[in-house]
Amino acid sequence: GNSVTQMEGPVTLSEEAFLTINCTYTATGYPSLFWYVQYPGEGLQLLLKATKADDKGSNKGFEATYRKETTSFHLEKGSVQVSDSAVYFCALRVLQGAQKLVFGQGTRLTINP
Amino acid sequence: DAGVIQSPRHEVTEMGQEVTLRCKPISGHDYLFWYRQTMMRGLELLIYFNNNVPIDDSGMPEDRFSAKMPNASFSTLKIQPSEPRDSAVYFCASSLGGQSLAPLHFGNGTRLTVT
C-alpha cells in the first residue's frame, strides 16, 4: 500500500537555525510528493511539491528533493524564522488507482526568538 | 480567486443532535475530499468524490456519518446523531485529478464541539 512516515515531533529550534524534517514513503505506483504546512487555526496549505525523481520543490526558503533511490522527500530550510512555527505534513498521491492524498502524521515545529 | 469555502467555522452542539457541515469547492475542480483532524489520530480521510460521485467512503467512521455532493459546487457532511467523540476539526479540500495530479486546496475547516 501507500504510506508516508515523518520524523516525530515536536521540533524546537532557535531562530536562524538549520531545519530538516525527514520524510520517507512507500508507494505502489509512481507518486507525486508534497509538503503541506498548517498554521494555527487554519487549513493546510501547499508548501512545495515534486512530481518525478530528482525534482527539487522549493518555496519560501524551504526545499525538498524527490529521492527515488532512498524513497525520501526531506524538508530543509537554511535559516528558520519565528513565523515558520507550524505543523508540517509530508504527503504523496499516485496516479494509478485511488487518487487520494496520503499524509504523514505531521511534525510540529516551534521556532524560538 | 476564492478558495475552498467551508461553513460554519465553528459548531457547538449537544450530543444526539444532527450536525451538517458545508463545503464549496474551487470552481472547476473535479475532486472533493472530506478530512477529520484530531490530536489523537491526526488527519483522517473520511470520503472523497470525483465528478460528484463518491469514490471511496471507507474512512467514514460509522453509519452516523453521511456525505453528499448534489452538484459540482456544493457538498455536505452530516452527522446524525452526534456524539462527543465526533469533536474534531473537519476539513474539505478540492483538486484537479486526471494526469495533472494537482495538489489539494483546503478550506479553513469547521471546528465541531459536541457536548
**Averaged over A1-22, what is the pLDDT?**
93
Mutate to test the interface with A, among B101, B106, B108, B110 (most CBs of A within 10 A): B101
Interchain CB contact of A57 with B (< 8 Å): no
Interchain CB contact of A106 with B (< 8 Å): yes
Question: Looking at residue B77, what is its pLDDT?
Answer: 98
Interchain CB contact of B33 with A (< 8 Å): yes
Question: Looking at residue B99, what is its pLDDT?
Answer: 52
Q: pLDDT, tens digit, for every residue of B86-103?
A: 999 999 999 887 555 678
Share of chain B above pLDDT 70, in %: 96
**Averaged over A84-96, what is the pLDDT?**
89
**Averaged over A72-94, what is the pLDDT?**
95
Q: pLDDT, tens digit, for every residue of A27-81?
A: 988 888 999 999 988 889 999 999 899 999 999 999 999 999 999 999 999 999 9
Tell me the average pLDDT of chain A.
92
Question: Looking at residue A109, what is its pLDDT?
Answer: 96
Low-confidence ranges of chain B (pLDDT < 50): none
Question: Looking at residue A93, what is its pLDDT?
Answer: 85
Question: Looking at residue B29, what is its pLDDT?
Answer: 92
Contacts 24+ apart (CB under 8 A), B19-22: B19/B78, B19/B79, B19/B80, B19/B82, B19/B86, B19/B112, B19/B114, B20/B76, B20/B77, B20/B78, B21/B76, B21/B77, B21/B78, B21/B90, B21/B92, B21/B110, B21/B112, B22/B74, B22/B75, B22/B76
Judging contacts by C-beta atoms under 8 Å, the chain B residues touching residue A36 are 103, 106
